[in-house]
A and B are shown apart, each in its own frame.
Chain A
């Protein structure tokens, strides 16, 4: 079980990293900082608007896959992957 608790700590660390990014792209860039970011243009998009309607969603997808990848590796390192 000792091995397990370092596994759980590492899992919590990965989740925290993911949720910080999750928070920054949606609540940060998409909502709170939208006005200053709108001064920057991405083609026809204002950047804040782009994060709110496109960028945050794309980041969410990447986050879930990254989490899955990191966790599968962590399972192997701790020898607790499923057979």
Chain B
């Protein structure tokens, strides 16, 4: 076994051991512990857990790669996936915490005094969460197969087993404490290589500052200016200005991601775990700090990886890398099929240009940038091993949060809430665990046999959350008169139109069969991308709901009193977690 493999085994299985130890320590004994970790998580801890819950394989692995190749256009992901927390912190989290229930559909059911609304919410939640989780399972399988050379299916199986142990045993309580540990693992794994690379390229150890600094090669040229020059020389779009589609598309895309982020149930759910409204507000702040730590480093990782890649292939202008002298990482990634070279002009050298006819790097998968980055920059083996553990931590922590969202919506909302209301707490807890086991098996199966539309699934999750859940919750809080019938109509039309649009366009979406998540890659030649459509769906949801409310009349007076009650942090009936 070589040194790198040994380090990787230590990092990966060492971190798994830690998660198991935490799971054993934080076993859940009641439904309250299983669903909301007993409601006693401090805001700082909750912030860290939210950050791990939120930052998935997409944030850890795919995002910097997207930015590396999109440049300025990649800003939609940076702003979209952080700006949503501003909405969540001010428009949803404090009020939903005050109302004090276990799940998102339960809030909708209370506010809209309707079992139908609850079932609609459960369906939206399950579709959004299950589609999201497939990507995480794929991420786990791929991380194992690349770093440990374990079979993809076996790797996926190990990942499923690990999640099963701490999610099923510990419920929200176990998940919360493992997510805190996973945040620590993933943030170190992300920033340490970035610090090394920033140091190498600019002499500045802080990546956020390094990105705006001059190069350390003595030329006195700014890194971003150099990058702009290198990529435009080869015919690519200028790095710091190249747009993603047009300006309107970038705005719609950013808005969809923001609303979608604020409407994802597995994130909202985490706000039920804190003891007070005050703690809900501040945990949103802490969460965003922990998320921003990775999200402000990502643009530096992306730009520096792109520059390193370009410099490897063409060290000086006109002097291209001889294929036979290519570095080891190049050969390693060629084996995976994610990097492909084709000597079109038979000169034995590598030409990498924007022109399809002469470009010889016929495939450079965006997802490899973060994973290959440490090797491209010649970093020590333990750093590469850490990246493997970090990628797994990101995928597992998100998968666990999603699994809990799914299982609680079935055991608590569908079974206890609608089908079998006389379920005892003990049976509900058991049901929750059984449902979660089934959900792990289903998502594992889907990860193993990704459906044809897998590439579009994460986009679909955001679109669905944006067009159904977010508007229903926001209107429930900010419009006292909004009625149940109107909200149901709104949710159904929002989600219906969004799904229709996505399915209409799924055929033209670019499907990268081997990427971790894919799906962020629509075909830009066809107007608004399906990914950016969630904002339109949300607008339709709002419009339909207000129109129907106007026609059918407002919510009953007691519901309006309930709204007044959860708008106020203390006073009134504080029904927090009294079941």
Contacts and interface: CB of A to CB of B under 8 A. Distances in A.
Interface of A: 1, 4, 7-8, 11, 15, 18-19, 22, 26-27, 30-32, 34-35, 38, 42-46, 49-50, 52-54, 56-58, 60-61, 63-65, 67-68, 71-72, 75, 80-83
12 contacts: A26-B79, A26-B254, A31-B250, A34-B72, A44-B213, A45-B211, A46-B241, A50-B212, A54-B296, A57-B295, A80-B568, A80-B570
B75 A81 contact: no
B570 A82 contact: yes
| 5 tightest Cβ-Cβ pairs between the two chains A and B | A44-B222, A52-B75, A68-B281, A43-B212, A53-B299
Contact of A65 (B78, B91, B276, B285): B285
Contacts of A63: 86
Given A31-B254, A38-B241, A61-B292, A19 B72 contact: no
A67 B214 contact: no
A38 B91 CA distance: 32
Nearest to B283: A68
B39 to A, nearest CB: 13
Interface in B85-116: 85-86, 89-91, 94
Given A31-B247, A45-B212, A60-B85, A67 B568 contact: no
A46 B240 contact: yes
A4 B296 CA distance: 39
Interface string B269-286: 000000011100110110
A51 B69 CA distance: 19
Contact of A72 (B90, B278, B288): B278
B294 to A, nearest CB: 10
Contact of A75 (B74, B254, B278, B284): B278
Contact of A45 (B224, B276, B289): B224
Question: Which residue, of B75, B94, B224, has the highest number of chain A Cβ atoms within 10 A?
Answer: B75
Contacts of A38: 240-241
Nearest to B74: A53
B564 interface: yes
B555 interface: no
A50 B300 CA distance: 11
B292 A58 contact: yes
Contact of B90 (A15, A26, A27, A50): A15
Nearest to B95: A11
Interface residues of B, number: 49
B459 to A, nearest CB: 20
Contacts of A42: 212
Given A18-B90, A49-B240, A56-B83, 20 more contacts: A4-B568, A7-B568, A8-B567, A18-B86, A30-B79, A31-B254, A34-B72, A38-B241, A44-B214, A53-B67, A54-B211, A56-B78, A56-B79, A57-B292, A64-B90, A64-B284, A72-B278, A81-B278, A81-B570, A82-B277
A32 B85 CA distance: 21
B85 A75 contact: no
A26 B81 CA distance: 12
Contacts of B251: 27, 31-32
B254 A4 contact: no
B474 to A, nearest CB: 11
Contacts of B365: none
B213 A57 contact: no
Interface string B371-410: 0000000000000000000000000000000000000000
Given A31-B251, A53-B299, A72-B281, A26 B83 contact: yes
A77 to B, nearest CB: 12
B82 interface: yes
B272 to A, nearest CB: 16
B218 interface: no
Contacts of A26: 79, 83, 254
B223 interface: yes
Interface in B524-558: none
B224 A80 contact: no
Contacts of A46: 224, 240-241
Question: Which residue, of B91, B222, B255, has the highest number of chain A Cβ atoms within 10 A?
Answer: B222
B358 to A, nearest CB: 29
A30 B86 contact: no
B247 A32 contact: yes
B184 to A, nearest CB: 19
Given A4-B564, A38-B240, A61 B212 contact: no
Contact of A1 (B212, B295, B564): B564
Contacts of B318: none
A61 B282 CA distance: 11
B451 interface: no
B208 A54 contact: yes
A52 B71 CA distance: 11
Contact of A64 (B89, B277, B296): B89
Nearest to A7: B568
B46 to A, nearest CB: 13
B90 A61 contact: no
Question: Which residue, of B212, B224, B292, B296, has the highest number of chain A Cβ atoms within 10 A?
Answer: B212
Contacts of A64: 85-86, 89-90, 281, 284-285, 288
Question: Which residue, of B72, B255, B567, has the highest number of chain A Cβ atoms within 10 A?
Answer: B72
